Amino acid sequence: MSAVPKLDTIGEREVDDALKEAHIPSLMAALVHLTGDASLLTDENKPVYDFFGDGQGNIKPEVQEQVRAVVKHAWLDYARGKKLPPPPPHQTIRRMMDFVAGAQIPERYVPFLKEELGIAVEDTRVPRWDSPKLKDAAAKMKVVIVGAGLSGLLSGVRLSQAGVPFEIIEKNPDVGGTWFENAYPGCRVDNPNHMYSFSFEPNHHWPQHFSTQPVLLAYFRRMADKYELRKHIRFETQVTEAVWDEQTSRWHVHVRDKDGKKETLIANAVISAVGQLNQPRIPEFKGREKFKGHAFHTARWRHDVDLTGKRVAVIGTGATAFQVIPEIAPKVAHLDVYQRSAPWLGPTPDYHKDVGEGKKWLLEHIPYYDKWYRFWLFWTLTDGILDGVAVDPSWNDTSKSVSPANDMLRGMLIQAIEAQAPHRPDLIQKVIPDYPFGSKRSVRDNGVYIAALARPNVDLITTGIREITENGIVTEDGMEHPAEVIIYGTGFHASDFLRTYRIVGRDGVELHEKWKGDARAYLGMNIPGFPNFFCIYGPNTNIVVNGSIIFFSEASVRYIVNALKLLAETGAKSMEVRADIHDDFNRRVDEENKKMAWGLPDAKSWYKNQFGRVSQNWPWRLVDYWNATVAPNPDDFTLT
């Protein structure tokens, strides 16, 4: 429940100022919780969102003022001690959901969204191992978690709540995973951080709408401290191999610490939370090793290398380079940016903006306002726009767009791009993508990227790279571009899942040999022949049209903990997904991905593996993953 400050610590003017920063549709839903009155949620007042709008859904100014006044009066009564009315009934909640979303939400979403909102009677993600039998079984288990990033920490929280002993193995000296390793200039999340946070661990005091790396790392550090996870973590330790012992139904997990000391841990289950985007990929350019200057990947940023006054080359224009380039362009003597394909730029005016103190106050003190604000972000950035990247079978030319809605969006985005540098038509021509929106993940745009490219000391080079020499880069046209520093913003070995260690399952089968470069798993977590082994952020659990990967982590961890509970309830020692269930699931995944913009035969991105298969993306709606992972279906597994 939101905190209520004493009235002597805040005046009515402060409340008025805070309400000016409110997202009105969310505030109108919060009003129902304050008063029990839903009369303002009319069809006439229902928001109609504009892709380029201010997020208020075009609600009339006079209605906005009326809402602020009513909320202020109701909140003052609440602050003086008036109790909240009973929770809204189901039909009212349904009405509130449709209203805030500005669309009719299918009924199948309701249980899922109630949980996301935190207004369900019971949070089913919290493990309930209350019976003596389950408590006894939990105490006898041991789980090894590989990785102390956001998914590894979350696994630790839930296993602690279930009473299951665990140990986390982390190669770095601290928690945070990608937010520990990526510390390049401009590094920040590309998802609103009121969504990029755990549902049970909200933060009403994010300093900016899209938090920077140090702020996010601090969030995960606080989480590790709050839930006393550090005592379970072995830092600066690497898992080298995990081997299934058929005789004992246990995993033998081989680890090596920073001093080279080796040890074998015995576990009932292994949770692999190593992520996808942490093993830098640098293309094998001819002559790369000859370069005499400094060269490094953005994920291994050299903070000891001063770029001031130097000629610098950035290879790549993906999400990371997009963040780096505006930060370093003003300080370097000259910057060459090498682009293979332009990213789609999604207008985001508040990308670098601070969260107003009024908004922070609203999130902290207006009951349920934070829940509905998170819901609005969730819906409008995920399932609410998925149809816009689905391929219309009747659409003739899919080279630039995949449907009427996708084509309209393309036109709107191009207009927004052209407006940023009307004096540089040569540059605009280069930064307009030649593929449909949704084929690749778009980036957040508040104008600083194109402004950086338009600087007189920056050149955007779209000619391919032929080789790297001692003193720079030679492009396919034979021109040599001198450089003192080369920065690789060339992504990661995303499709080479779990590449940092060997996993040996039944009959001595090694997982990477089984996959042969084409990683597949049931629900992204389970692989036939590898009992009691679970992946988080595994194959086909990525998202394209935004949304937060934290959603997938929360769903996956609940599923995994419930799988362990199934073992405890049945007395089985192992569970292994059936091959037919696994294969049928992956067949359906492949079929559905082909119906999306990113699955088109001509679409090229890191979403596809070396065989051209989309190994990264979840093709359905997020509600479908939530429903599929509430609890494992025993019929999907062989219990031994």
- Count the residues in the chain: 640
Query: Does some domain include residue 256?
Result: yes
Which residue did the predictor score with more confidence, 604 or 145?
Answer: 145
Looking at residues 240-247, what average pLDDT do you find? Answer: 98
Residue-wise pLDDT for 54-112, tens only, equals 889 999 999 999 999 999 999 999 999 999 999 899 899 999 999 999 999 888 888 88
Looking at residues 414-442, what average pLDDT do you find? Answer: 95
Lowest mean pLDDT among 316-330, 369-383, 421-435, 574-588: 369-383
Pairwise CA distance, residues 164 & 129, whole Å:
10
pTM of the model: 0.94
Is the per-residue pLDDT at 124 higher than 90?
A: no
Helix pair 369-381, 24-35: axis angle to 10 deg: 140
Report angle CA 431, 434, 438 to the nearest 5 degrees.
100
Asked if 303 and 226 sit in the same domain, the reply is no
Pairwise CA distance, residues 234 & 579, whole Å:
34
Q: List b or e across 458-496, with b for residues whose CB sees 16 or more CB atoms inside 10 angstroms.
A: bebbeeebbebbebbbbbeeeeebebbbbbbbbbbebbb
Residue-wise pLDDT for 568-584, tens only, equals 999 999 999 999 999 99
Q: What pLDDT score does 9 carry?
A: 58
Domain residue limits at 139: 132-279+494-639
Which residue did the predictor score with more confidence, 272 or 442?
Answer: 272
The number of distinct structural domains making up the chain is 3
DSSP label at residue 596: B
Q: CB atoms < 10 A from the CB of 425, how many?
A: 10
DSSP label at residue 540: T
Q: What pLDDT score does 5 carry?
A: 56
Q: What pLDDT score does 111 carry?
A: 84
Q: What pLDDT score does 10 carry?
A: 67
Q: What pLDDT score does 3 carry?
A: 57
Strand partners, 145: 168, 271
Contact 23, 36 (CB under 8 A): no
Residue-wise pLDDT for 25-45, tens only, equals 999 999 999 999 999 999 999
Alpha helices in 7-60 (DSSP H): 12-19, 24-35
Residue-wise pLDDT for 125-134, tens only, equals 889 999 999 9
**CA distances from residue 410 to 388, 417, 436 in whole angstroms, order as listed:** 10, 11, 7
The CATH number assigned to the domain holding 549 equals 3.50.50.60
Is the per-residue pLDDT at 151 higher than 60?
A: yes
Lowest mean pLDDT among 31-40, 115-124, 174-183, 588-597: 115-124
Query: Does some domain include residue 181?
Result: yes
Q: What pLDDT score does 524 carry?
A: 97
Asked if 509 and 374 sit in the same domain, the reply is no
Which residue did the predictor score with more confidence, 502 or 123?
Answer: 502
- Out of 429, 460, 488, a domain closes at 488
- Ramachandran area for residue 516 (φ above 0: left; ψ -120 to 50: alpha; else beta): left
Asked if 347 and 294 sit in the same domain, the reply is yes
Asked if 168 and 189 sit in the same domain, the reply is yes
Pairwise CA distance, residues 563 & 569, whole Å:
10
Is the per-residue pLDDT at 385 higher than 90?
A: no
Residue-wise pLDDT for 522-552, tens only, equals 999 999 999 999 999 999 999 887 568 999 9
Query: Does some domain include residue 523?
Result: yes
Asked if 347 and 360 sit in the same domain, the reply is no
Which amino acid appears at position 328 of this protein? I
Query: Does some domain include residue 96?
Result: yes
Contact 318, 280 (CB under 8 A): no
SS3 (DSSP) at 637:
strand
Asked if 424 and 558 sit in the same domain, the reply is no
Pairwise CA distance, residues 272 & 178, whole Å:
15
Asked if 630 and 603 sit in the same domain, the reply is yes
| Radius of gyration, alpha carbons of the chain | 26
pLDDT category at 123 given cuts 50, 70, 90 is low
Asked if 178 and 65 sit in the same domain, the reply is no
Asked if 326 and 470 sit in the same domain, the reply is yes
- Ramachandran area for residue 322 (φ above 0: left; ψ -120 to 50: alpha; else beta): alpha
DSSP H/E element including 159: helix 150-162
Looking at residues 475-491, what average pLDDT do you find? Answer: 97
Asked if 472 and 584 sit in the same domain, the reply is no
- Out of 488, 515, 533, a domain closes at 488
pLDDT category at 556 given cuts 50, 70, 90 is very high
Is the per-residue pLDDT at 118 higher than 90?
A: no
Q: What pLDDT score does 569 carry?
A: 96
Residue-wise pLDDT for 495-506, tens only, equals 899 999 999 999
pLDDT category at 4 given cuts 50, 70, 90 is low
Looking at residues 169-178, what average pLDDT do you find? Answer: 97
Looking at residues 286-292, what average pLDDT do you find? Answer: 96
Looking at residues 614-630, what average pLDDT do you find? Answer: 93
Looking at residues 220-224, what average pLDDT do you find? Answer: 98
Is the per-residue pLDDT at 7 higher than 80?
A: no
- Out of 443, 472, 488, a domain closes at 488
Specify the pairing of strand 250-257 against strand 237-245: antiparallel
Asked if 273 and 296 sit in the same domain, the reply is no
Q: What pLDDT score does 177 carry?
A: 96
Looking at residues 365-387, what average pLDDT do you find? Answer: 88
pLDDT category at 1 given cuts 50, 70, 90 is low
pLDDT category at 141 given cuts 50, 70, 90 is very high
Whole-number average pLDDT of the chain:
94
Query: Does some domain include residue 570?
Result: yes
pLDDT category at 207 given cuts 50, 70, 90 is very high
**CA distances from residue 478 to 286, 341, 473, 483, 502 in whole angstroms, order as listed:** 14, 20, 10, 16, 43
Asked if 361 and 320 sit in the same domain, the reply is no
Residue-wise pLDDT for 319-351, tens only, equals 999 999 999 999 999 999 999 999 999 999 999
